[in-house]
């Protein structure tokens, strides 16, 4: 890929929110705002332009390809003298990004070879303990056997990295693999044997001077592949050894985002580079809900990556608990939702003269010398002020010395709300969940004594405040700090903010695929956290979001890839192994809870369940899915030939394709629509990657009203890599139980003496 002059036009105005930022959960419904001033055709934007491949494209040198792309432009420079071409893409798309006016794009549409132009958009970005929690331990099992991901390269598309952080030391790291083609841009990072590649693609915006102007990139990189760092803590809590999921894997850093978000054109350029550098796994914690795939840079880029056998792990989004809020929903992506762990960094709130104690969380455990004394409480929202502590004015309420109640949600993080409270003279803060944040509480590095409580506790506190007010007495409260505790019940549980399926745009592929730890995750951080007066020399921070979950699974995918035989390292096989081995039960063997309401989680929130690294390294059977099936799948979504071509990069004639709907994709999970017709046959093919001689029997769990048959009634394998097909016949057996619009959920297990290969099933009735 060729880089061009970084001078840039104004980009489209987009609301941003990082996938990890829980606070913006309430504002997730913000649409992509297209340029509101575009009443003039004279305005220059960056457009991503898809064109046909030139003849013998594979033989062309970079310059020839670039010339082909330039031939579509009116001329090579703008009036200002800036070059029009922003990126000339190699692998991710057949096309380029360029600065153009609407009128110029219109003219281009009639040129031979033109396919589609799309204005660039800006997408939001969306551990000491998690290896243990996931059953990885230093001297035992998968982790050790797999050499902690040795030889693998994980590409991180994010805000960059703080390369000086001890998590990225190369102590104990092997040399980069021989296949590695990447280079190191010193503006992004100084490389070593841990960080072996660094590149920057920020044509879309001013380049920040900070090495990682947000912290998000540093944090997710440490989760995926941070090296071991002993004796760490966050403000004295969550003490232990920090390390990533694949501590011996290498990192390649593609800086495509700033704290303000990530442009589609930059994301495509980052993936382009990652493909030619030869990463093994891509970790993408960016996204904005579901878009048609031909307009979705992550879907398009990850499809190109797939063709080079690179698996993309991407965050499901933080727009839960709303249904249909899923992002990164293409079937070739491993889409990851977020769960809690059983670790809590606890605090306790005592209300006035009440004896009951209310539990919550915070990572900043107050002044070390004293527990807080009883303080008068203020609730600016209830008292007519801005209820979310969104600024430090509190509409005239004097909060000096008070314990201030703030609702969760709105455009500020909890930490920023705490800063407002502190600035206004408040002594402490209680963050109150609203209904949609449910039971998920965060342990954050606040700047003042604080406690974050769940929704049912929030209601108790508000009603206590209400009743005091009614009695004309001052509500009083105090916070106690209890430190780090393990063994919380109902763990893992789906975080309330984790985005939910089903997807509007993928035609009926079950998403998310999998869950990974994403609540209160400890990771590397480029700057100090908490109150200014504190801070240790090594900085770690606790963050929550599906970003953190995706980074965990990217690390695990690298572990799996390094552990299986070279010629079987297909992305679809790794993905299948991770999905079919997932756990749908929590640590108490109860169904995984949804923290939105405390009920058992639906498949639309949890997919197959919690990632299970040791199970995934020995899956027994895998559902392999050859890339060419996706072409038929794309046709079945009703896309035009040109729209399919944007993704596949070669000419497709959908009319000539046998109809091959989403239900027939050889996916490791099953989603079918029943009603008309009321009976469907689902065919799947499995490949034996376990013992050469093995026999699997099916087991079903399906709701009343649905009947199921499977043929054949057992799968008998006599050699490794042997393939067998089976049919599942699903039909409505009692139409009085299930009505139109109902969802039913179940599962199919293929069981051998050594393996259980589980596929979640969702049936939608129409
Ligand atoms: C629309 O165009 C006119 C004329 O160029 C300009 O005066 C006006 O400010 C524009 N409106 C917006 C919203 O940009
Ligand atoms: C490039 O094309 C634009 C639009 O056609 C025109 O205004 C401009 O003068 C041209 N610049 C050069 C250097 O030819
Ligand atoms: C290794 O794991 C097994 C079972 O998972 C356990 O019984 C054994 O104690 C573990 N050994 C070590 C050294 O942790
Ligand atoms: C707390 O004090 C109020 C009066 O200030 C009284 O009405 C209430 O009953 C007391 N509650 C308890 C649990 O003692
Ligand atoms: C909220 O947290 C408290 C701990 O203070 C817990 O006892 C309670 O069960 C939680 N609420 C729900 C609905 O689970
Ligand atoms: C807070 O109070 C509890 C119980 O009274 C005590 O165990 C704890 O050590 C105190 N914490 C601090 C920081 O003084
Ligand atoms: C603070 O927020 C309130 C409500 O959101 C708003 O009305 C007020 O103007 C804001 N004050 C400042 C100083 O921004
Ligand atoms: C707010 O309250 C504090 C303490 O009660 C007092 O010292 C301060 O003067 C008050 N500020 C205003 C602006 O009333
Ligand atoms: C508190 O009082 C307000 C205003 O009267 C009311 O809207 C709200 O429902 C009350 N909340 C609780 C939890 O009692
Ligand atoms: C509360 O106090 C105010 C002013 O002190 C008074 O006007 C009001 O009547 C009192 N209300 C009750 C319910 O006692
Ligand atoms: C937290 O500390 C308070 C005050 O010391 C104590 O009463 C409470 O039992 C503690 N809670 C937990 C869960 O440790
Ligand atoms: C269908 O379900 C209804 C409601 O549970 C039940 O009353 C009826 O007997 C069932 N019919 C058959 C054929 O099983």
Which residues surround ligand 5 with Cβ inside 6 Å? 358-359, 439, 454, 456-457, 598
Closest by CA position to 395, among listed 403, 404, 386: 386
For ligand 2, atom 8, the nearest C-alpha belongs to 79
SS3 call for 199: strand
**Which residues lie below 8 Å from residue 364, measured CB to CB, with a gap of 6+?**
235, 444, 445, 446, 447, 448, 449, 450, 530, 531, 534
SS3 call for 366: coil
Of 13, 36, 37, best ligand 1 pocket probe by most atoms within 8 Å of the beta carbon: 37
Q: First CA to last CA across the chain, in angstroms?
A: 48
Cα angle 156, 10, 199; round to 5: 25
Active site amino acids? 158, 216, 547
According to the model, what pLDDT value does residue 197 have? 97
The answer to whether 569 and 560 have CB atoms below 8 angstroms apart is no
For ligand 5, atom 7, the nearest C-alpha belongs to 359
Alpha-carbon distance of 73 to 548, in angstroms, equals 41
According to the model, what pLDDT value does residue 677 have? 79
Q: Cis peptide before 352, with omega less than 30 degrees from 0?
A: no
* Tokens standing for residue 508: 């009926």
Alpha-carbon distance of 606 to 600, in angstroms, equals 10
* Tokens standing for residue 169: 């030391």
For tokens 């509500």, what's the residue? Answer: 475
> What one-character DSSP code corresponds to residue 194?
S
* 169-213 pLDDT, tens digit each: 999 899 999 999 999 999 899 999 999 999 999 985 667 777 888
Instruction: Please return the burial class of 567, using the count of CB atoms within 10 Å of its CB with bins 0-12, 13-18 and 19+.
Output: exposed
**At residue 423, what are phi and psi to the nearest 5 degrees?**
-60, -35
401 CB within 6 A, ligand 8: yes
Which residues surround ligand 2 with Cβ inside 6 Å? 74-75, 77, 79
This prediction has a pTM of 0.86
Instruction: Please return the burial class of 704, using the count of CB atoms within 10 Å of its CB with bins 0-12, 13-18 and 19+.
Output: exposed
Which of the residues in the chain have pLDDT under 70? Answer: 1-41, 126-146, 204-206, 230-233, 235-236, 238, 366-372, 383-387, 532-538, 566-567
Q: With helix as H, strand as E and coil as C, how does 540-565 read?
A: EEEECCHHHHHHHHHHHHHHHHHHCC
SS3 call for 335: strand
Closest by CA position to 380, among listed 392, 401, 394: 394
**At residue 679, what are phi and psi to the nearest 5 degrees?**
-145, 135
Instruction: Please return the burial class of 713, using the count of CB atoms within 10 Å of its CB with bins 0-12, 13-18 and 19+.
Output: exposed
Beta-bridge partners for 695: 716
According to the model, what pLDDT value does residue 367 have? 64
Residues composing the chain: 766
Query: Which ligand does the CA of 427 lie closest to?
Result: 8
Alpha-carbon distance of 459 to 655, in angstroms, equals 57
Classify residue 269 as left (phi > 0), alpha (psi -120 to 50) or beta: alpha
* Tokens standing for residue 139: 């001297």
Alpha-carbon distance of 265 to 742, in angstroms, equals 40
């Amino acid at each position: 890929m060729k880089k061009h002059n970084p001078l840039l036009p104004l980009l489209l105005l987009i609301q941003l929110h990082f996938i990890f930022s829980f606070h913006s959960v309430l504002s997730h419904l913000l649409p992509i705002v297209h340029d509101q001033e575009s009443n003039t055709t004279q305005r220059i934007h960056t457009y991503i332009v898809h064109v046909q491949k030139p003849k013998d494209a594979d033989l062309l040198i970079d310059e020839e390809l670039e010339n082909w792309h330039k031939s579509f432009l009116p001329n090579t420079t703008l009036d200002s003298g800036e070059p029009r071409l922003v990126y000339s893409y190699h692998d991710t798309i057949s096309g380029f990004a360029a600065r153009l006016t609407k009128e110029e794009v219109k003219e281009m549409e009639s040129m031979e070879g033109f396919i589609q132009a799309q204005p660039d958009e800006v997408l939001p970005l969306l551990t000491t303990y998690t290896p243990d929690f996931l059953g990885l331990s230093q001297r035992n099992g998968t982790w050790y056997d797999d050499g902690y991901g040795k030889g693998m390269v994980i590409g991180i598309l994010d805000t960059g990295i703080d390369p000086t952080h001890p998590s990225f030391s190369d102590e104990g790291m092997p040399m980069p693999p021989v296949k590695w083609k990447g280079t190191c841009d010193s503006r992004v990072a100084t490389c070593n044997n841990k960080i072996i590649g660094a590149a920057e693609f920020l044509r879309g915006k001013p380049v920040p001077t900070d090495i990682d102007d947000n912290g998000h990139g540093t944090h997710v990189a440490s989760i995926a592949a941070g090296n071991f760092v002993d004796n760490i803590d966050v403000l004295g809590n969550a003490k232990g050894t920090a390390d990533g999921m694949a501590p011996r894997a290498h990192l390649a850093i593609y800086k495509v985002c700033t704290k303000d978000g990530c442009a589609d054109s930059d994301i495509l350029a980052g993936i382009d580079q990652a493909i030619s550098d030869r990463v093994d796994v891509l970790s993408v914690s960016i996204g904005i809900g579901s878009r048609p795939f031909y307009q979705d840079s992550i879907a398009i880029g990850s499809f190109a990556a797939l063709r080079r056998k690179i698996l993309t792990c991407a965050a499901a989004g933080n727009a839960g608990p709303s249904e249909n809020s899923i992002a990164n929903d293409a079937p070739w992506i491993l889409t990851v939702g977020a769960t809690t762990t059983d670790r809590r960094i606890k605090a306790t709130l005592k209300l006035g003269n009440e004896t009951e104690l209310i539990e919550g969380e915070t990572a900043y455990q107050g002044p070390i010398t004293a527990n807080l004394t009883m303080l008068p409480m203020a609730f600016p929202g209830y008292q007519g002020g801005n209820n979310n502590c969104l600024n430090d004015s509190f509409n005239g309420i004097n909060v000096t010395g008070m314990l201030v109640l703030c609702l969760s949600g709105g455009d500020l993080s909890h930490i920023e709300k705490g800063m407002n409270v502190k600035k206004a003279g408040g002594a402490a803060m209680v963050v109150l969940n609203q209904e949609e944040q449910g039971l998920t509480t965060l342990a954050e590095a606040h700047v003042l004594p604080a406690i974050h409580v769940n929704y049912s506790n929030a209601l108790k506190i508000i009603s206590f405040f209400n009743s005091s007010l009614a009695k004309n007495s001052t509500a009083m409260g105090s916070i106690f700090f209890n430190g780090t505790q393990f063994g919380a019940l109902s763990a893992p549980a789906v975080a309330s903010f984790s985005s939910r399926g089903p997807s509007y745009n993928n035609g009926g592929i079950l998403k998310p695929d999998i869950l990974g730890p994403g609540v209160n995750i400890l990771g590397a951080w480029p700057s100090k956290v908490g109150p200014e007066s504190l801070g240790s020399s090594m900085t770690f921070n606790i963050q929550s979001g599906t970003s953190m979950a995706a980074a965990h699974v990217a690390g695990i995918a690298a572990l799996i890839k390094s552990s299986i035989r070279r010629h079987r390292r297909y992305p679809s096989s790794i993905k299948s192994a991770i999905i079919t081995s997932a756990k749908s039960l929590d640590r108490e063997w109860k169904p995984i809870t949804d923290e939105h309401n405390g009920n058992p989680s639906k498949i639309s929130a949890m997919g197959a369940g919690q990632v299970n690294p040791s199970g995934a390294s020995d899956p027994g059977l895998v559902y392999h899915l050859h890339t060419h099936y996706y072409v038929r799948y794309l046709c079945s979504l009703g896309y035009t030939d040109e729209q399919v071509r944007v993704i596949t990069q070669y000419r497709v004639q959908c009319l000539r394709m046998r109809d091959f709907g989403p239900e027939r994709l050889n996916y490791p999970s099953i989603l079918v629509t029943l009603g008309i017709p009321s009976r469907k046959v689902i065919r799947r093919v499995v490949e034996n990657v376990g013992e050469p001689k093995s026999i699997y029997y099916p087991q079903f769990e399906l709701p009343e009203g649905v009947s199921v048959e499977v043929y054949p009634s057992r799968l008998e394998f006599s050699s490794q890599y042997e393939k067998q097909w089976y049919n599942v016949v699903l039909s409505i057996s009692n139409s009085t139980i299930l009505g139109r619009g109902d969802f039913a959920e179940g599962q199919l297990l293929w069981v051998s003496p050594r393996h259980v290969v589980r596929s979640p099933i969702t049936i939608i009735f129409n």
